[in-house]
Copies of this chain bind each other. A is one copy, B any other.
């Protein structure tokens, strides 16, 4: 337990489905982490304080305090306390200025705000802002100008300039895929002939690529009139039942990329960074290549470093000397 000597912060990424806690050394290095299935939608009794205590009691106590900071849906309307959004452009300083402190059994808990992009088509994030700031800390060149893509249920495309989260878009690709797979006509063939995707499965890979290319080549028409090809290609025998979902996944990710790159001012020529689950980032990396973007890098689990950055800006931990 020698590492515990150096812990200076407890960081928590507390989302909809799970809670991930980190014991952090200076700079956000993870000394130890743990995950609990106590996301805000899964805590039926809404006893957030007990969930926090049970997760952290051997790491911190009122007798041996450590500052605690949390980001994600725990600060949403359905979480422990709603923390008002910080507006774009946002950086560690503006997020720290919006931190809301609540009392927990383990001492003060610092809740990080999400980020809102105001306008006629507003956009919001909670939790991703922390991952983004953590990713930017990994390479100073990224902070100048970069395009960050955070795949997932609600995928975020984020334009960073001068160290600030300038603007972003949300694509509900992961949620749409799950809906169509589980509840639509398109998901039925695969339900009747279940199949476990394998990277070694060339036909699955080909179906995924075909989906991406169909979406890409649709151009401005978009996906609306092509989603149904998942059905018609199955009916005509061109797609086997187990591969219909690979094709559908390609269609949806392809349309997301096509649409995101069609937006004005998306800096796709400069650094492009994928942040998140490695398997999903790999699918996006492959898909971006079909759009001529071959230089994307990938990072996993950048929340700890982002939590450190915000804690630092807030003054919860000592500011590191600039290297």
Contacts and interface: CB of A to CB of B under 8 A. Distances in A.
A256 to B, nearest CB: 5
A94 interface: no
Nearest to A76: B235
Interface of A: 77, 116, 118, 121-124, 154, 157, 169-173, 175-176, 179-180, 182-185, 214, 219-229, 231-233, 235-236, 238, 255-256, 258-260, 262-263
B229 A122 contact: yes
A235 B121 contact: no
B173 A232 contact: no
A259 B171 contact: no
Contacts of A229: 121-123
Nearest to A227: B172
Nearest to A185: B175
List the number of copies, as a whole number.
2
A255 B175 contact: no
Contacts of A184: 172, 175, 179
A179 B183 contact: yes
A220 B223 contact: no
Contact of A222 (B77, B123, B182, B255): B255
Contacts of A170: 225, 228, 232
A262 B238 CA distance: 27
Given A179-B183, A233-B122, A222 B222 contact: yes
A222 B262 CA distance: 9
Contacts of A176: 227
B260 A224 contact: yes
A259 B215 CA distance: 13
A263 to B, nearest CB: 5
A225 B260 contact: yes
A259 B172 contact: no
B171 A224 contact: yes
B232 A122 contact: yes
Contacts of A224: 171, 173, 222-223, 255-256, 258-260
Given A179-B184, A180-B179, A184-B179, A232 B124 contact: yes
Nearest to A256: B224
Given A179-B180, A183-B179, A185-B175, A221 B259 contact: yes
14 contacts: A121-B214, A121-B232, A122-B232, A122-B235, A122-B236, A123-B232, A170-B225, A171-B228, A182-B183, A220-B262, A221-B262, A222-B259, A224-B260, A225-B256
